[in-house]
A and B are shown apart, each in its own frame.
Chain A
Amino acid sequence: MNTLVALALIFTQLSLLAFGGGNTILPEMQRQVVQVHGWMSAQDFAALFALAQAAPGPNMMVVPLVGWHVAGWSGLLVASAAKFGPSSLLTAAVLGLWKRFRDRPWRRVVQAGLVPMTVGLVAASAVLITEATATRPALAGIAAAAALLMLLLKPHPLWLLGGGALAGLLLA
């Protein structure tokens, strides 16, 4: 029961702090589930993140997976509802107001002003997830190769995920 309450609190907070999309809250999610609650290791968290990236759909599917890993089906339901509920309610509540304030100058100022923080949070996610996954030189090589190929060739991400998995299998 306590675990479910903790999951609800963590993901409600993350839901309302996820400005700039899901990847900005990965560091806090990792801090909560690994450091604060000790539900899994940083490696496990990175593995769940990778599984979610290999699945279709929105990029926050790591949330139900974390809930499921921590507390089974009830954990999945609680984490999903807590993550997707509050931000959705906020969207619904603001939808009517939006037509009034979208053209106000402050809207543009705030939106442009949050960009550096969003970029900083995504960069922090990249640092933490890489730290947790590149535990051996070969794995660091796979991460570096995936990043370089993505930047240079812009392939479909699934090719790189598949290639990374294959390389990991051959190196094991």
Chain B
Amino acid sequence: MTAPASADAGPPPAAPRAAPPGCGALFAGFLGLGLTGFGGVLPLARHMIVERRRWLSPAEFTDLLGLCQFLPGGNIINLSVAVGLEFRGAAGAVSALLGLILGPTAAVVALGVVYDQFRDDPRVQGLFAGLAAAAAGLLVAMALKMLAPLRRQPVALGIVGLCVLAIALLRLPLLPCMAVLAPLSVLAVGWRGR
């Protein structure tokens, strides 16, 4: 309502950016994200950073996420570093990263203590075995979902198959496998897909 209606066809009227966050706000924002993000933090991260706190515009967010997906490491971990660095340099990056992982670390250790304490109780064993089986099932579902878009690409499927053979069946170390498979994958698929 308050945005002045401009007559010229400039860039679309972006939502006003909030003031650049300080280290405390970065820490608090990512702490909340870490504690509430069950089963996938990415959609929540976009909501927090773009819509609720308005630290970045949608385009800036997509751009930073592109970098974070390109580099090794968890997307959200990298994103926290990149966002922190953009606003407050190294101190901001550390604040955001620590905020993101402190809460979940406390949570997993608490679960680990419970697991260790009660692992000899057959009912608790059953409970954790069922939990682990369900977690494995979710991983299978994720793999199938990622596989679906490749189903009409025989070359890509061949590389997937090679990868499963080398890593899951032959149990070869990751580093030499990647040294062979990554260039092969890029040459065979990336180049053709241009």
Contacts and interface: CB of A to CB of B under 8 A. Distances in A.
A144 interface: yes
Contacts of B122: 172
Interface string B145-184: 1110010010111011111100111010111001001100
Interface in B1-44: 34-41
A107 B153 CA distance: 21
B63 interface: yes
Contacts of B194: 105, 108-109
B90 A58 contact: no
Contact of A90 (B73, B168, B173): B73
Contacts of B190: 108-114
B59 interface: no
B112 A69 contact: yes
A38 interface: no
B147 A147 contact: no
Interface string A142-159: 111111101100001110
A114 B135 contact: no
A21 B74 contact: yes
Interface of A: 13-23, 25, 27-28, 31, 35, 46-62, 64-65, 68-69, 76, 80, 84, 87-88, 90-92, 94-95, 98, 102, 105, 107-130, 132-135, 139-140, 142-148, 150-151, 156-158, 160-161, 163-172
